Copies of this chain bind each other. A is one copy, B any other.
Amino acid sequence: MEQRNLTLLTDLYELTMMQGYFKEKDANETVIFDMFYRTNPHGNGFAICAGLEQVIEYINDLHFSQEDIEYLKALGIFEEDFLEYLRGFQFTGDIYAIPEGTVIFPREPIVKVIAPIMQAQLIETALLNIINHQSLIATKTERIVYAAKGDGVMEFGLRRAQGPDAGVYGARAAMIAGCVGTSNVLCGKLFDIPVKGTHAHSWIMSFPDELSAFRTYAKLYPTACILLVDTYDTLNSGIPNAIQVFKEMKEAGIPLTFYGIRLDSGDLAYLSKKAKKMLDEAGFSDAVISASNDLDENLINSLKMQGAAINSWGVGTNLITAKDCPSFGGVYKLAAVKDKGTGRFVPKIKLSENAEKITNPGNKTIWRIYDKATGKIIADLICLVGEAFSPANSLLLFDPIETWKKTMLAPDSYTLRELLIPVFLNGKCVYDSPSVMEIRAYCARELDTLWDESKRLINPHTVHVDLSNELWHMKNKLLESYHRK
């Protein structure tokens, strides 16, 4: 993101609304917007947030260049005083966010923006674009890595990604959620993460025969020698030729450190079992058997259940596009407007016929409640900033819709952690993004705070996201007052 000016990466209506605020309202009115999502993608029990580092770069770089201003002027809908304001535009607000790699749940503010309304409005589109994309891919990847049960999963999707950014930042998100490497060299360079890959069918086809193609590859890359065996005939040509080359390496005294085969077509369960038998019989029982070809979490799960002898997975299209649900659905909603007189935030609510679509008003934060004995998440509690909770006291949780469903937590049985942390204060970034590999390690620890029942691929157990008593009452009062109108 750093090489480009993305200030105009916004919907036109953000700019027309900004001019409206500039012309007709107090443009410095401070507001609060929450970014949150409503449903976990892929039927998952949770999501993993990602993309904050790129949002920070975007915010830090926000500026309208002379060229941008001239373009906007040429549209004929913006007036000179507003364009003059844009010339001096910079972000001066506060942003709170949940750190990348955190397990998140529906309706929780992932990002909270407190800023003059014009600024908060401008950044809506890019913020949603970036966080929606990376959180989607991180969440999809977690499912795939979960299905692989400890085997390495490699990200191979660049050629099918929706453009260069989708490839690069998708691979970044995939690493956060547990992939062991990516084929994407640019992503490897930008984020210092492992890059992987061997050869394609074209390598084999450009040689007179498969055996000489394998031999040449093994000579060049003896320490990472994974041979693609399905160009002509997997069982009758590919695997026998690969075994022949491994034997020659052994005889030549070349240490076989990391070697094996890749299956890229056919019945992967059958072929991998056959391959395992052939490799074992030839004395190569530690050979890697990797597989690719339109894999996803369901196919990997099915192959595992069939006893496929695969121990390394290359996943492309289905991961990098999150194929069965290719959008995350994060939204950005007004939650409060600061009253100039009192200096207090007046909560705002967006109504809907659908109870789930009604927004949570006010200046909020989230406390994650962990079981003290196991370290697992009990529930999340969305509350108003300033409310105090202490694990020394008991805590009553209740479902915000079916309010008769209650749980009482005993004193000292739980611990608390606030999820939203300051990222920008008064326009200045106060947060250092960890490296991708650090976020990856943190994400693995995050996944340990979930019970396995919440991680299963189908019908996972729902982790409760409750509202504090104070927030619940404030929300209901607002709803009542609208209905009285």
Q: Mark A1-44, 1 if CB is under 8 A from B, else 0.
A: 10110101111111111011101110001010100000000000
Could you tell me if A326 and B334 are in contact, using CB atoms closer than 8 angstroms? Answer: no
In the assembled complex, A217 has its CB within 8 A of some CB on chain B: yes
Could you tell me if A185 and B136 are in contact, using CB atoms closer than 8 angstroms? Answer: no
CB-contact partner of A6 in B124, B134, B162, B164, under 8 A? B164
In the assembled complex, A388 has its CB within 8 A of some CB on chain B: no
Could you tell me if A205 and B348 are in contact, using CB atoms closer than 8 angstroms? Answer: yes
In the assembled complex, A423 has its CB within 8 A of some CB on chain B: no
Using A71-B189, A196-B12 as known contacts, say yes or no to A159 and B205 having CB atoms under 8 A apart: no
Question: A10, A12, A219, A350 — which one has the most chain B CB atoms within 10 A of its CB?
Answer: A12
Q: How far is the CA of A21 from the CA of B166 in the complex (A)?
A: 30
Tell me how far the C-beta of A348 lies from the nearest C-beta in chain B, rounded to whole angstroms: 5
Smallest CB gap from A354: residue in B: B265
Q: How far is the CA of A317 from the CA of B37 in the complex (A)?
A: 14
Smallest CB gap from A13: residue in B: B197
Tell me how far the C-beta of A44 lies from the nearest C-beta in chain B, rounded to whole angstroms: 17
Question: A33, A130, A163, A203 — which one has the most chain B CB atoms within 10 A of its CB?
Answer: A163
Q: How far is the CA of A23 from the CA of B216 in the complex (A)?
A: 10
Q: Please, which residues of chain B bring their CB within 8 A of the CB of A21?
A: 206
Smallest CB gap from A324: residue in B: B326
CB-contact partner of A326 in B25, B185, B323, under 8 A? B323
Could you tell me if B206 and A25 are in contact, using CB atoms closer than 8 angstroms? Answer: yes
In the assembled complex, A356 has its CB within 8 A of some CB on chain B: no
CB-contact partner of A161 in B17, B129, B134, B199, under 8 A? B129
In the assembled complex, A272 has its CB within 8 A of some CB on chain B: no
Could you tell me if B130 and A164 are in contact, using CB atoms closer than 8 angstroms? Answer: yes
- List A residues 275-316 near B (Cβ within 8 Å): none
9-residue interface stretch from A144-152, A167-175, A396-404, A447-455: A167-175
Q: Mark A376-412, 1 if CB is under 8 A from B, else 0.
A: 0000000000000000000000000000000000000
Q: Please, which residues of chain B bring their CB within 8 A of the CB of A129?
A: 158-161, 163-164, 167
- List A residues 152-198 near B (Cβ within 8 Å): 156, 158-170, 183-186, 188-189, 195-198
Could you tell me if B160 and A12 are in contact, using CB atoms closer than 8 angstroms? Answer: no
Tell me how far the C-beta of A18 lies from the nearest C-beta in chain B, rounded to whole angstroms: 10
Tell me how far the C-beta of A7 lies from the nearest C-beta in chain B, rounded to whole angstroms: 8
Smallest CB gap from A482: residue in B: B232
CB-contact partner of A217 in B20, B167, B197, B205, under 8 A? B20
Using A133-B161, A329-B160 as known contacts, say yes or no to A266 and B117 having CB atoms under 8 A apart: no
CB-contact partner of A16 in B23, B68, B219, B221, under 8 A? B221
Tell me how far the C-beta of A101 lies from the nearest C-beta in chain B, rounded to whole angstroms: 18
Tell me how far the C-beta of A81 lies from the nearest C-beta in chain B, rounded to whole angstroms: 13
Q: How far is the CA of A197 from the CA of B77 in the complex (A)?
A: 12
Could you tell me if B162 and A11 are in contact, using CB atoms closer than 8 angstroms? Answer: no
Tell me how far the C-beta of A357 lies from the nearest C-beta in chain B, rounded to whole angstroms: 8
Q: Please, which residues of chain B bring their CB within 8 A of the CB of A337?
A: 206
Q: Please, which residues of chain B bring their CB within 8 A of the CB of A374?
A: none
Q: Mark A328-366, 1 if CB is under 8 A from B, else 0.
A: 111011100100000000001011110000000000000
Q: Please, which residues of chain B bring their CB within 8 A of the CB of A132?
A: 159-160
Could you tell me if A168 and B326 are in contact, using CB atoms closer than 8 angstroms? Answer: no
In the assembled complex, A126 has its CB within 8 A of some CB on chain B: yes
CB-contact partner of A334 in B12, B186, B206, B350, under 8 A? B206
Smallest CB gap from A72: residue in B: B185
Q: Please, which residues of chain B bring their CB within 8 A of the CB of A9?
A: 158, 164, 167-168, 184-186
Tell me how far the C-beta of A361 lies from the nearest C-beta in chain B, rounded to whole angstroms: 10
Could you tell me if B333 and A326 are in contact, using CB atoms closer than 8 angstroms? Answer: no
Could you tell me if B317 and A323 are in contact, using CB atoms closer than 8 angstroms? Answer: no
Using A128-B160, A162-B326, A198-B16 as known contacts, say yes or no to A183 and B23 having CB atoms under 8 A apart: no
28 contacts between A and B (CB under 8 A): A8-B185, A9-B186, A10-B186, A11-B158, A11-B185, A12-B188, A13-B198, A17-B202, A24-B220, A33-B202, A71-B188, A77-B221, A121-B200, A126-B164, A129-B161, A129-B163, A133-B163, A136-B162, A160-B328, A162-B163, A162-B326, A165-B165, A201-B350, A232-B351, A317-B327, A321-B327, A323-B326, A326-B326
Further pairs besides A75-B195, A160-B327: 6, Cβ < 8 Å: A11-B158, A12-B197, A16-B198, A16-B199, A130-B163, A201-B334
For the complex of A and B, 4 pairs with smallest distance between CB atoms = A163-B165, A13-B197, A12-B197, A165-B165
